[in-house]
Amino acid sequence: MGDQAEDLLAGSSISAEDLLAGSSTSTAVTVERLAKRYRGGVWALDDCTLSVPSGRVAALVGMNGAGKTTLLSIMAGLLRPTSGEVRLREGGERVSLVAQDRPLYRSFTPAEMLMAGRQLNEVWDQERAVRWLRRFDIPLDRPCGKLSGGQQAQVSFAVALGARPSLLLLDEPLANLDPLARREVTRELLAEVVDGDMTVLMSTHVIAELVGVADYLLLLARGRLLLDGDVDELLAAHRHYSGPRAQAPLLFGEVVQAKHVGSTSTYLVRADPEHPPVVEEPWTVRPATLEDLVVAHLESSRAVAA
């Protein structure tokens, strides 16, 4: 297995450890029983336990108010949790956060923002940061306050990457970017993942954009982890089964969601991907999309909570 991995990697700039990290248990960051209560009594996080495997591009998915931003802020060391703890990988993890509102010094030019990044960090890769700005045609000498929202986002990315993080936290990274820029940013970010040994944790609520981009999913609901796992494994484990209505519920796997429309019943079932349930006519099977299974888990958790 190790040899094959190494052979496969020949010609790519990724190391064998990166590949193996995908399947190993090494985690970049673990949070345990994390809770955060804001003034006014709102629990943004409530007994939240999860971990992000190293070398992955993990998606932190949840509705507004699920606690995504709070979790990222605590991981970035900006917010003190009410209780619980955050554990970074042994040997330390260089954490960079690109916050949702892209805070920049408005009077600073992008070049001066990079200077700020250099001054605030012990490790700084000016070339990498400048490369990012040039790639997206960001003027280096115009005050950030006069740049468009998309350009400001690019400056934030450049500063974050310049700090050479081993754990890059992105809060809604694609918000306020136009669709074309989204593709490009995604592509370039993933290329940076290949080039620098980096784990990415990105929050989003646009699930469709994650397919092919994220390889690990963390689904948050009401400040708690609802579902996590390798995206491919989750997709392989979930299927839609449709058949005539009023038939007894399927007795295999875990029914995540049951829908009855007209004369048809559809069940989203989570089962062992190696041995998927076999069904007879008139039942049909079709794969579930990432969006399907995220929505189904969110809805069923809401039903339980109600």
Partner 1 sequence: MVEFRVDRGGGLPAYLQLVQQAREALRLGWLRPGDKLPTVREVVATSGVNPNTVLKAYRELEFAGLVEARQGAGTFVKAALGSVEPEVMAELREQLGDWVRTARTAGLEDEDIHALVGVVLTGENNNG
Partner 2 sequence: MNLALAQLTWRQHRAVLITGLAWTLLVSGCLLAISDTSSLAGPVETVTIGGPTVLTLLVGLFLAAPLLPREYEQGTYVFAWSQDVTASRWLRLKVGYLLSAVLLMSVLISALHDLRASPVSHPFSMPMFEGFAPVQVAYVAFAFALGLALGALTRRTLLAMGLTLVGFLVVRAFVAAVCRRFYLPPLHAANLEVMPRDSTAVGIQFGAGPHGIAGVDYQPNDRVPSFQWIETGLFLTLAAGLLVLAWWLVRRREVR
**Nearer to partner 1 among residue 175 and residue 190 (C-beta):** 190
For helices 110-120 and 149-162, what crossing angle results, to 10°?
30
Q: Which of residues 162-181 bind partner 2 (CB under 8 A)?
A: 163
Which of 85, 101, 195, 272 is in the footprint of partner 1 by CB under 8 A?
195
Binding to partner 2 by CB under 8 A, coded x per residue (else -) over 87-106, reads -------xxxx-x-x-xxxx
284 near partner 1, rule: CB under 8 A: yes
Smallest distance from the beta carbon of 173 to partner 2, in angstroms?
15
Quote the least distance from Cβ 124 to partner 2, whole Å: 9
170-189 binders of partner 1 (CB under 8 A)? 183, 186-188
19 binds, among partner 1, partner 2, none (CB under 5 to 8 A by kind): partner 1
Contact pick of 103, 116, 287, 302 for partner 1 (by CB under 8 A): 287
Given partner 2, partner 1, none, residue 116, with its beta carbon under 5 to 8 Å by kind, binds: partner 2
Task: Give the nearest distance from C-beta 145 to partner 1 in angstroms.
Answer: 30
Q: Which of 78, 194, 206, 211 binds partner 2 (CB under 8 A)?
A: 78
